[in-house]
Amino acid sequence: MRNERVLVTGGAGFIGSNLANTLATDNEVIAVDNGYLGTEANLADEVRYENCDVLDDDLPTDVDVVFHLAALSSYAMHEDDPVGGAAVNVDGFVNVVEQARQDGCDTVVYASTSSIYGSQTEPSPEDMPVSVNTGYEASKLSRERYAEYFSNHYDMSMAGMRFFSVYQGYGGAEGHKGEYANVIAQFADDVAHDRAPELYGDGTQTRDFTHVDDIVRGLVDAATHELDGVYNLGTGDAYSFNTVVSQINDVLGTDVEPEYVENPIPEEVYVEHTCADCSKIREATGWEPEIDFEEGIRRVCSPYLTSTASNN
């Protein structure tokens, strides 16, 4: 993408700020965020920041492309306030897209979730049957249905991206998420500070961990190719939480053992395993993940190694 006017909602958050900063090199970028899980400090000077909410009127939607990433993005947030979660994730989505449509924008790329696949040890394709067990999953599936409406009724390009376990580490914009950060970020920070990472159950649950840089490239590719429908963004490889801790110890040269605790999330809700089948976006755009698990762990751990070296 070059010389486009772009809106990123949730643009000061983890994924949003990485996307906004990348796009700002060659485009005019507006990031809107209400500051709940984002901070203006995540953004490059070239990005125009507006502190507002996706439920507001008169959003800056006079753009060529909308990337809608704003969301309440966890199971816990929705269980604490189901009505508020639906308002932000569903009503906010419709509000942004409708304002964009009225302003003449016909290309929207938005965040969905891989959680709707449930626990899957084999790669999950987009056309497999899905169901919802949480308010969070229901809100994201609702987005996909509203996107289908905007596509069919108004001929808009509506690309829903089902993210798989996105991470960067506390050395990047993910640091602002704190307890809502990916487990790789949390475990690395624990191990680096000689704290035992808390693993639910026996630590054998697996995730398709996907570095945010690969996610950003996928989002940009989806807009550039004006994709329509839903697409997975993951690696196709899954690793256990035990393996994450072991790999972090290897990189940091530490030997911190995890602590195994009872899972506070109900068994019928907790997703034990995720793995992406990304053949659909690969065939549509040529996108491939470029950062493998080992390289990703090295990047997450790098700030701690730098800090240790500077203190010696």
Catalytic residues: 136
Residues 141-158, buried b or exposed e (16+ Cβ, 10 A)?
Answer: bbbbebbeebbeeeebbb
Alpha-carbon distance 264 to 279, whole Å?
34
Alpha-carbon distance 41 to 210, whole Å?
24
Tell me the H-state helices in 105-260: 135-154, 183-192, 212-224, 241-252
Two tokens at 209?
A: 């961990």
Amino acid making up residue 115:
S
Strands (E), the chain: 5-9, 28-33, 48-51, 65-68, 107-111, 157-163, 166-167, 198-200, 206-207, 210-211, 229-233, 239-240, 259-261
Residue 86 in 3-state DSSP?
A: helix
Q: Are 115 and 143 contacting, i.e. CB atoms less than 8 angstroms apart?
A: no
